[in-house]
Amino acid sequence: MRQPNILLIMTDQHRADHLGCYGNRQVRTPHIDGIASRGTVFDRFYVASPICMPNRSTLMTGRMPSLHGVRHNGIPLRLDDTTFATLLGARGYRTALIGKSHLQNMQDIPPLVQRAPRDGRTVIEAYPDATGDRRDGAAYEQELASRWRDPAHRIRLPYYGFDHVELCMEHGDEAFGDYQRWLAQRLPEAEGLRGRRHAQADDRYVAPQAWRTRLPEACYPSRYIAERGVAYLEAHAARGAAQPFFLKCSFPDPHHPFTPPGRYWDMYDPRDIAVPPTCAPPAADAPPHLRWLHDERTGGRANLDTPRVVAVTPREAQEAIALSYGIITLVDDCIGRILQALEATGQARDTVVVFTSDHGDFMGDHGLLFKGPLHYQGLVRVPFIWADPRLPGGRRSAALHGTLDLAQTLLHRTDTAPYHDIQGISLLPALDDPGWQGHDALLIEDEIQRVFGGFDSPVRLRTLITRQWRLSVYLGAEWGELYDLGNDPHERVNLWHDPRHADTRAGLMETLVRKMMALASRSPLPTRIA
C-alpha cells in the first residue's frame, strides 16, 4: 500500500482557543477550521515545554527536553540526534522544511548562564561541561542572523533529517533567512519599510511591541512560506507520485511583535475584544512570581521590549489580542493557498494534514502577555488537528496527548519502526476509538537562563497535567500550584496549601515522580552484560 504524504503545518506562539474550531467566535480561520471539519480536533493537547527551542526539539525527536538537552532557548539540538524526519527520509520520503526551524540559535546574544571560575580555582577551557557534548562551532551557527549576512550562506543538508530547507527566521516584519533574500528580489526597497523605526504612525495602540508595518501583505513572511510551500507541492507533483513527501510549513506568526500588514492591521477592533476573565491584579494569595510580575510593572521596572512574560493592562491585552487575531487570519489565508495547491495538484487524497503550534501565549490571562514560567492553560495547551484521508472527519477527542507524541504518531501512521528511547505514545487509537483516554498524566519541563520572578536562581519548574488537575512544582520554593481544572478551568484558586486537598497534592506528587522516572533516558543500550 502506498505510504501517505504528510503535510505538517505549524504556527508559533498560538493558543488553542484562538481558532474558530476551538470555540472562538471572533477570529476568522475558515481554512484551519476546514482541516478540523475533515479531521479530528484534540481538545487536550499539551506542550512538553512552553518555550520555542525545547518544544520544537521535542516535536522533532519525540524525546523530552531533559533527554535531548535543549532545556531552554539558547541550546541547539545536536545534529546527530535522531529525528522522525531522518527515519522518514530513510523510508523513502522526500523531506522538506519551509519556514521557521529554531532548532539552533537565531541571535548572537551572549548567554546569561556563564562558565565562571569557582572558589578562585583555575578553569580549564577545554573541559567546561560535564560531557563532550559541545554544541558550538559553525555547524551549530547555521540559523544565526549574522551568518545570513553572507550571500553565500546556505543550510548544510541534510539538516535534522530534512533534505530541502528554506528558512524564515525571527518574527513580525523583521524576519530573515532565505525569506530576506526572496524579499530583496521581490521588493528591493524593503529594508526601508521594515521594523519599528520605519513603522506607520498609529497612536491608537499602546500595547507592547505593536507597530503598523509598511511592508505590503504580499511580501510579509507568512506569504513567503505560502508561496514556497505551493511551489514545493507543485514541483513534487511534477516529479510523479512514486515517492511520498513530508513537508513541514512552519509559520513564525502569530508570535509578537504584533505587525499584521495592510488590511489585517484593522481587521479586528480592540474595543470588540472581551477582556479575559482573569485579566486583573492578582489576589493576595496568588503565586508569588505572579505578584512579582505585576509589582515590576506598577513599579516601572518591567521591560516591555522582551520575549519574556510581562504584566499588562486590560486595554493592552485587548489590543494584543486584536492584532494577534489579524495575524492569525493572515496565516489562515496563507494556509488556504497551500491547501488549494494540495488539492489542485491531485495530492490531497493521499495526504495526512496535521496542524499544531509550539506553545501558547498568556494574552491577558492573569494580566500577563507573552510567555514565561507560569503554566496557565493559555500557554501550555495548544491546538492539534489531524486530518487523515482514510478516516471520517468532524470528530473531537478529549484524550490527553501532547507534543511528545507527534513523532511516535507519524512513524506509526507511515508504518515505520521507532528508534530506541523515543518517548510518547501514538495518538492513532484516539482516531478510531472515541473512548481512548491517551495518557494518564503529562509532564511539562521548564527551565530558563535568568534569575526571574523573585527567585534567587534561574527558574526550574515541573508541571503535571492529568484529566482533572494541574500541579506545578518549583525548585527551591516552599510553595507550588494546584488547580482543579474540572471545576476551575481559569485556574483562579490555588489549592496548594488547602488542607482539604492535601491527599490530592500528595498523590499527584507521587504521580509526578513516577512520570519523571518513566521518562528518564534509557540510551545508550548496553553492549554487554558486564
Domain 5-111+138-437, CATH homologous superfamily name and number: Alkaline Phosphatase, subunit A (3.40.720.10)
8 A C-beta contact, residue 225 and residue 167:
no
CA atoms within 13 A of residue 214's CA, in its CB half-sphere: 14
DSSP string for residues in 115-154:
---STTPPP-TT--SSSS----SGGG-TT-TTGGGSTT--
pLDDT at 320 (0 to 100): 98
8 A C-beta contact, residue 132 and residue 200:
no
- Residue 524, preceding peptide bond in cis (omega within 30° of 0): yes
8 A C-beta contact, residue 63 and residue 71:
no
Other CB atoms within 10 Å distance of the CB of residue 10 = 21
Residues 6+ apart with CB under 8 A from 498: 482
Q: Is 79 exposed, middle or buried (0-12, 13-18, 19+ CB in 10 A)?
A: middle
d(Cα 425, Cα 447) in Å, to the nearest integer? 24
Q: Can you read off the three cell numbers belonging to residue 438?
A: 491517551
Place of cell 520575549: 307
8 A C-beta contact, residue 259 and residue 330:
no
d(Cα 369, Cα 379) in Å, to the nearest integer? 10
DSSP string for residues in 66-112:
HHHS--STT-PPPTTS--HHHHHHHTT-EEEEEE---SS--S-PPPS
Return the domain boundaries, the chain.
5-111+138-437
Query: pLDDT tens digits for the chain (530 residues)?
Result: 589 999 999 999 999 999 999 999 999 999 999 999 999 999 999 999 999 999 999 999 999 999 999 999 999 999 999 999 999 999 999 999 999 999 999 998 888 776 666 677 777 777 777 787 888 899 999 999 999 999 999 999 999 999 999 999 999 999 999 999 999 999 999 999 999 999 999 999 999 999 999 999 999 999 999 999 999 999 999 998 689 999 999 999 999 999 999 999 999 999 999 999 999 999 888 999 999 999 999 999 999 998 899 999 999 999 999 999 999 999 999 999 999 999 999 999 999 999 999 999 999 999 999 999 999 999 999 999 999 999 999 999 999 999 999 999 999 999 999 999 999 999 999 998 989 999 999 999 999 988 888 898 899 999 999 999 999 999 999 999 999 999 999 999 999 999 999 999 999 999 999 999 999 999 988 999 98
d(Cα 210, Cα 199) in Å, to the nearest integer? 10
Q: Can you read off the three cell numbers belonging to residue 502?
A: 492535601
Biggest CA–CA distance in the chain, Å, is: 71
pLDDT at 240 (0 to 100): 82
Closest CA to 362 of 5, 17, 41: 17
pLDDT at 116 (0 to 100): 61
Q: What is the pLDDT of residues 181-193, one digit of tens each?
A: 999 999 999 999 9
Q: What is the pLDDT of residues 200-235, one digit of tens each?
A: 999 999 999 999 999 999 999 999 999 999 999 999
**What is the distance between the terminal CA atoms of the chain, rounded to a whole angstrom?**
44
Query: Angle 169-75-379 (CA atoms, 0-180°, nearest 5)?
Result: 70
pLDDT at 126 (0 to 100): 74
DSSP string for residues in 231-268:
HHHHHHHHH-SSS-EEEEEEEEEEPSSB---GGGTSSS
d(Cα 53, Cα 76) in Å, to the nearest integer? 8
pLDDT at 77 (0 to 100): 98
Dihedral, 404, 405, 408, 410 alpha carbons, nearest 10: -110
Question: E strands within 271-350?
Answer: 310-311
| H-helix or E-strand spanning residue 27 | none
| H-helix or E-strand spanning residue 164 | strand 164-169
Length in residues, the chain: 530
pLDDT at 115 (0 to 100): 62
d(Cα 129, Cα 139) in Å, to the nearest integer? 19
| Buried b / exposed e along 331-363 (16+ C-beta atoms within 10 A) | bbbbbbbbbebbeebebbebbbbbbbbbbbbbb
Give the SS3 label for residue 386: strand
Question: E strands within 358-484?
Answer: 368-369, 384-387, 395-397, 401-402, 441-451, 458-466, 469-474, 480-484
Q: At what angle do helices 221-239 and 314-344 cross, to 10 degrees?
A: 20
